[in-house]
Every structure is written in C-alpha cells, then in structure tokens.
Amino acid sequence: MSTASSICETLFDLVGKQKRTEEINQLMAGANFWDDQESAQKIVGELSRLNLAVKPLEELATAADDIGVLMEFAAEDDGGDSIDELATTVERLEPQIAAVELQAIMSSPEDAMGAYVTVQAGEGGTDSSDWAEMLLRMFIRWSELRGYKAEMLERSDAEEAGIRNATVVIRGQYVFGYLKGETGNHRLIRISPFDSAGRRHTSFAAVDVTPELDDEFDVDINWDKDVREDTYRASGAGGQHVNKTDSAIRLTHLESNVVVQCQNERSQHKNRATARKMLIAKLFQNERERREAEVAARRGQKSKIGFGGETVRNYVLNPDRYVKDARTGLKAGNPDTVLNGELDPFIDAYLRWSIGKD
C-alpha cells in the first residue's frame, strides 16, 4: 500500500467507515430490523451519509495507489514520459482531493442534507426588495450549476419590485454543509435603478439557512400547545385554486417566536406538513447555534456559526466592482459572476475559515 493511500485510509478513516458500512448492511439484512421503526430510520440515515463519504474516499485511495506506481516508473524513466503522466494525474486529482477535504470539514450529520434558504429584504424600500430577489436568484443559480434541485416553498412579492421574503428548499448532497455559511446579512452598494437622481444606495437582505432534516432527527414539540397555526390565501404563482382558498400555512413557535410559512402546494395538508418540517429544522438549527455560541464563549472566542445581524458579505457595484467576504477576506473582482451563482470560492474559503484553517 502506498503512503498516499495509507494517509487517505487513516486521516479520513476510510477503513473505519467501510467497517461501519458493512456492520449496518448486516443489521439491515436481519429479520427484525424494521421492528423498531425509529431506530431503523436512524441507522438508514447513517448508512446514507456513510455511502456519500466512502465512495469518493475509495476512488481517492485507488488513485493514490496509481500515483505510487507512476512514481516508481518515473524514477526509472529517463525519457520523462512517466513524469509527465504523473504530473497530469496529480493535477487531475487536485479537485477530488479538495472535495474530499471539504467533506471531512462538513462532519456534522446535518451537513450532508438539503437546506431551506430564506431571504428577507431589509430596510431600504424597493432597493432592498430588489436586492433580496437578486440574492434569491443567486442561490437558485448556484443550485442549478451544481445539478441540485430547487423548489420554491413561499414567496411574498413587494409592491414595486423584488420580494419581501421567500423560502426555497434546495435538495442534493451536502447542500446545508455548503450553504450554512451564507446565514447573515448581505449588503449591496450600487447606483439605484429606482432613484431618478441616480444616487448610490446601500441595501441589506438577510439570509437564513437551515437543514432539511431526515425523519431520524426529532425536536420535542407539542403541536397543540407550543405552536400557533394561521391559514391565509397564497399569493403569486400557483393557479386560481391556490388564490381562492386558504391553503397557505404559517406556524409560530410561541416560546421562541420562530415563524415559518409554506404556500407552494394547493393542498393545505401538504403545506402544513412542509411547514412543520421547516419549523423542526429551524428549532434544531437554533439549538445547534446556541450550543456553538456557548462553547465559543467558554473559549473566549466569537462563534463562527449563527451570525445574527452581522454583515457576512459585501457586494459593491459602484464606483468599484467587487464582492468581499467580511469573515474570510476573500475578494472577487467580478460581482456579476458571483450573482450568477459562482459561489464555490466563497463557500470553500468559509468552510476552511470555520475550522481555523488559512
């Protein structure tokens, strides 16, 4: 076994993950596996996350062995062909290595899941509403570029342009892990297209990202006592049936004042089920952020999760043109590509920053 392959198997615990995968497969083959539905769901969820991690690690371990062989050939090759092949192979593997490294950073179970992304316009009138819609489009474009599926759950249009708020669910591997660093305030500086005097305006929009949790995750909620449910008529797209009936659902968790709403389905029952999942996810995320903040406080540090009202990124369109992350310091000189969904450099930088890496 090559040294590189050994590093892959020890640093990323490939052997341990393979062993646990085999154990779970044996458990699932048992006759009584589904007798305890709650326990079975948790185990199935664990297997799903293991499979996401094991396949790229196995591919990387195989590639590492191939590199070891090429290194041996290169040492004996006077013509340089093996060295060229080795260089090409290493260059080809760099994106895979980076992806596996990021997966190792996203180690929490919920990181592997989909995500609810909520965008809400801040103060600033039409400019902020327009900015909120630009951000919403940015996240949808990011999901399209990655081959993920985005579904609009709720959208409230502003009077003149843009949106007051909207929530989209993005489904795919590690969506929450990638997008969790987007939570916080996003600031736009530009010449306002809505100002007849052509003055420069600063607009804010808040982004909140929560995981789309599997059934194995549970939050203790008494739906009759802890939550207030309101129904209302959906607005926007959805057809005449949606707009003529009180099919939209708004849930308010009374103790925490967390509010979620869903209006994308014609069925009130389906909207209620989705809203309940959203509320569970938000309460779970709030508790996660609270624990993170407590740990950071004990260490005399500032929490790197749960930014509240802090501005996390600045988008400047005039007089200069750039996008700069307020946490990592990463700066991109073409804001148009970022607003068109090219978020991966910022996501990569945030994930490495979040664990204290340069």
Lowest mean pLDDT among 31-40, 121-130, 168-177, 313-322: 31-40
* Same-domain check for residues 262 and 336: yes
- The arrangement of strands across the sheet holding 200-212 comes to 149-157, 163-171, 114-121, 200-212, 184-191, 311-316, 322-325, 331-332
Q: What is the pLDDT of residue 182?
A: 95
* Same-domain check for residues 136 and 8: no
Contacts of 219 (CB under 8 A, 6+ apart): 280, 283, 284, 287
Number of separate domains in the chain: 2
* Same-domain check for residues 344 and 273: yes
Share of the chain above pLDDT 70, in %: 78
- Which residue in 218, 216, 247 sits closest to 234, CA to CA? 247
Q: Domain limits at 81?
A: 3-105
Q: What is the pLDDT of residue 241?
A: 41
- The arrangement of strands across the sheet holding 258-262 comes to 227-232, 248-253, 258-262
* Same-domain check for residues 206 and 67: no
Q: What is the pLDDT of residue 218?
A: 66
- Euclidean distance between CA atoms 206 and 306, whole angstroms: 12
pLDDT tens sequence across 266-300: 888 889 989 999 999 999 888 888 887 776 666 56
Question: In angstroms, what is the C-alpha Rg of the chain?
Answer: 24
Domain end among 57, 87, 105 = 105
* Same-domain check for residues 267 and 331: yes
* Same-domain check for residues 185 and 317: yes
Domain end among 42, 72, 105 = 105
| CA atoms 123, 237, 154, 49: torsion sign | negative
Domain end among 53, 72, 105 = 105
Average pLDDT over residues 82-87: 69
For the chain, give the longest Cα–Cα distance. Answer: 79
* Same-domain check for residues 167 and 75: no
Q: Which helix (H) or strand (E) holds 200?
A: strand 200-212
Task: Find the CATH number of the domain harbouring 293.
Answer: 3.30.70.1660
Q: Could you say which DSSP state residue 180 is in?
A: G
* Same-domain check for residues 272 and 142: yes
Local confidence band at 73 (pLDDT 50, 70, 90 cut-offs): low
* Same-domain check for residues 189 and 302: yes
Q: What's the distance, Cα to Cα, between the start and end of the chain in Å?
A: 31
* Same-domain check for residues 328 and 259: yes
**For residue 103, is pLDDT > 70?**
yes
Q: Which long-range contacts (CB under 8 A, 24 or more apart) does 187-193 make?
A: 187/311, 187/313, 187/314, 187/315, 188/127, 188/131, 188/134, 188/315, 188/317, 189/314, 189/315, 189/316, 189/317, 189/318, 190/316, 190/317, 190/318, 191/317, 191/318, 192/127, 193/130
Q: Average pLDDT of the chain? A: 81
Q: Helix, strand or coil for residue 158? A: coil
pLDDT tens sequence across 187-203: 999 999 988 888 889 99
The one-letter code for the residue type at 226 is: D
Q: What is the pLDDT of residue 3?
A: 41
Q: Helix, strand or coil for residue 228? A: strand
**Which single residue is written with the structure tokens 């050994």?**
6
Rounded to 5 degrees, what are φ and ψ at 299? -90, 0
Average pLDDT over residues 199-211: 92
- Euclidean distance between CA atoms 25 and 218, whole angstroms: 24
* Same-domain check for residues 303 and 166: yes
Average pLDDT over residues 50-70: 71
* Same-domain check for residues 209 and 305: yes
Q: What is the pLDDT of residue 210?
A: 93
pLDDT tens sequence across 8-23: 444 467 777 788 888 8
The H-assigned helical ranges of the chain are 3-11, 14-28, 37-76, 81-105, 125-145, 175-179, 240-244, 268-298, 335-339, 344-354
**For residue 309, is pLDDT > 90?**
no
The H-assigned helical ranges of 157-267 are 175-179, 240-244
Q: What is the pLDDT of residue 307?
A: 40
Task: Find the CATH number of the domain harbouring 78.
Answer: 1.20.58.410
